[in-house]
């Protein structure tokens, strides 16, 4: 009876697996704050993409971990930079069996760890960053990315990237806008995952957790600029925002079940304080119930086997 009348579905096609690929790595490197998640080598990344496709996942979201960084994040634009290489690898591995998505942001590539370039006073320079994002979008599209995910929360980023893509014949490249992204403590473990060098915080460009109306405004602006899908991030502390955004727009809504949400469940389970597998499915179901059409989650592959056993 419960199966017959369940209101919320959770299916492999709705899940997107975020993956980290580390330049020069010979062995996968464990991320201590995210047990079970690794910085991949190019080779193990290819295998993980093939596995994701065979499991029927909707997509993978790729993050590059470069071996060197600089002030302007040049590794992000280099066609042989780790993220562009990883995109090419993933596309050649999976073909059209799943969507290859790329994180379009500078923080992994800058020595200061900010999502944009800095002005002479050391502040993030919104408009100078837009020009770099436009180039980065072209690099990802040229590498074959089906979907680019601008996650830097610069004002005007979606419009700048859309114009650049259209101007170069990449009309079919989709933009998944990190539209409502909060300055969140729940990104903590991610900083280890990408060897972040950030000092300070991202409060001049990411949202204040106390604001909900502002999220709707950010979503509206991104849609006006040409976003095809919008994301709310993090997911669990912002289920109310997911619901409000879902009710407000007519495009697909994604939610990012972020590193800190993952780490909390893993840590509690490792202590025997929580039933890990039930907690995973309950977490993902709650995000779907709140209104997310798709979920980015580090549990994506495992969730498929949990769903099969259910
Ligand atoms: C920025 C980016 C971040 C995450 C995804 N993209 C970190 C940040 O904004 O500080 C966090 C993802 C997670 O915590 O799982 N490129």
Domains of the chain: 2-230 (3.20.20.70)
Alpha carbons 91 and 76: distance in angstroms, whole number: 18
Helices marked H in the chain — which ranges?
A: 2-5, 42-55, 82-94, 126-143, 157-167, 188-193, 213-224, 239-248, 259-270, 276-290, 300-309
Average pLDDT per 10 consecutive residues for the chain, totaling 310 residues: 96 98 97 97 98 98 97 96 98 95 97 95 96 98 98 97 98 98 96 87 94 98 98 98 98 98 98 98 98 98 94
Q: How many C-beta atoms lie closer than 10 Å to residue 47's C-beta? A: 12
Beta-sheet pairing, 147-150 with 174-181: parallel
Beta-sheet pairing, 29-30 with 38-40: antiparallel
Alpha carbons 191 and 286: distance in angstroms, whole number: 25
- Here the tokens at position 16 are 């997107």
Residue 195: predicted pLDDT: 87
pLDDT in tens, 189-246: 998 888 888 988 999 999 999 999 999 999 999 999 999 999 999 999 999 999 999 9
Structural contact between residues 58 and 94, judged by C-beta atoms closer than 8 angstroms: no
* Stated pTM of the model: 0.97
Check the CA dihedral 152-158-159-161 and report its sign. Answer: positive
Beta-sheet pairing, 29-30 with 253-257: unpaired
Pocket test for ligand 1, best of 102, 113, 151 (most atoms within 8 A of CB): 151
Q: Which residues are catalytic?
A: 181, 233
How many whole angstroms from 216 Cα to the centroid of ligand 1?
Answer: 20
Average pLDDT, the chain: 97
Q: Which residue CA neighbors atom 8 of ligand 1 most closely?
A: 187
Q: How many C-beta atoms lie closer than 10 Å to residue 203's C-beta? A: 9
Pocket test for ligand 1, best of 105, 207, 295 (most atoms within 8 A of CB): 105
Residue 251, Cβ density class (10 Å: 0-12 exposed, 13-18 middle, ≥19 buried): middle
Residue 193: predicted pLDDT: 87
Does the C-beta of 259 come closer than 6 Å to ligand 1?
A: yes
Structural contact between residues 99 and 173, judged by C-beta atoms closer than 8 angstroms: no
Structural contact between residues 60 and 12, judged by C-beta atoms closer than 8 angstroms: no
């Amino acid at each position: 009876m419960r199966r017959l009348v369940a209101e919320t579905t959770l299916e492999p096609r709705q899940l997107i697996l975020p993956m980290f690929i580390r330049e020069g790595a010979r062995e996968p490197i464990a991320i201590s704050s995210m047990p079970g998640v690794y910085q991949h080598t190019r080779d193990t990344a290819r295998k993980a993409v093939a596995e994701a496709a065979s499991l029927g996942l909707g997509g993978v979201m790729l993050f590059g971990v470069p071996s060197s960084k600089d002030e302007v994040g040049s590794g992000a634009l280099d066609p042989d930079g780790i993220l562009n290489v990883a995109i090419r690898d993933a596309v050649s591995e999976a073909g059209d069996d799943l969507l290859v998505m790329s994180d379009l942001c500078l923080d992994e590539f800058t020595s200061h760890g900010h999502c944009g370039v800095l002005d002479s006073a050391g502040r993030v320079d919104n408009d100078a960053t837009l020009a770099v994002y436009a180039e980065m979008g072209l690099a990802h599209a040229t590498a074959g990315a089906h979907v680019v995910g601008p996650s830097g929360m610069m004002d005007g980023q979606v419009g700048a990237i859309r114009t650049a893509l259209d101007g170069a014949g990449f009309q079919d490249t989709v933009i998944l806008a990190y539209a409502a992204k909060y300055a969140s403590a729940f990104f903590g473990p991610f900083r280890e995952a990408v060897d972040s060098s950030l000092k300070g915080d991202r409060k001049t460009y990411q949202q204040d957790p106390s604001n909900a109306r502002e999220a709707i405004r950010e979503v509206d602006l991104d849609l006006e600029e040409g976003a095809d899908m919008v994301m709310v991030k993090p997911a669990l502390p912002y289920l109310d925002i997911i619901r409000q955004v879902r009710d407000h727009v007519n495009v697909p809504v994604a939610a990012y079940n972020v590193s800190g949400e993952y780490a909390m469940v893993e840590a509690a389970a490792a202590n025997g304080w929580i039933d890990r597998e039930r907690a995973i499915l309950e977490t993902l179901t709650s995000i779907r119930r709140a209104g997310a059409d798709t979920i980015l989650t580090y549990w994506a592959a495992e969730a498929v086997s949990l769903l099969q056993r259910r």
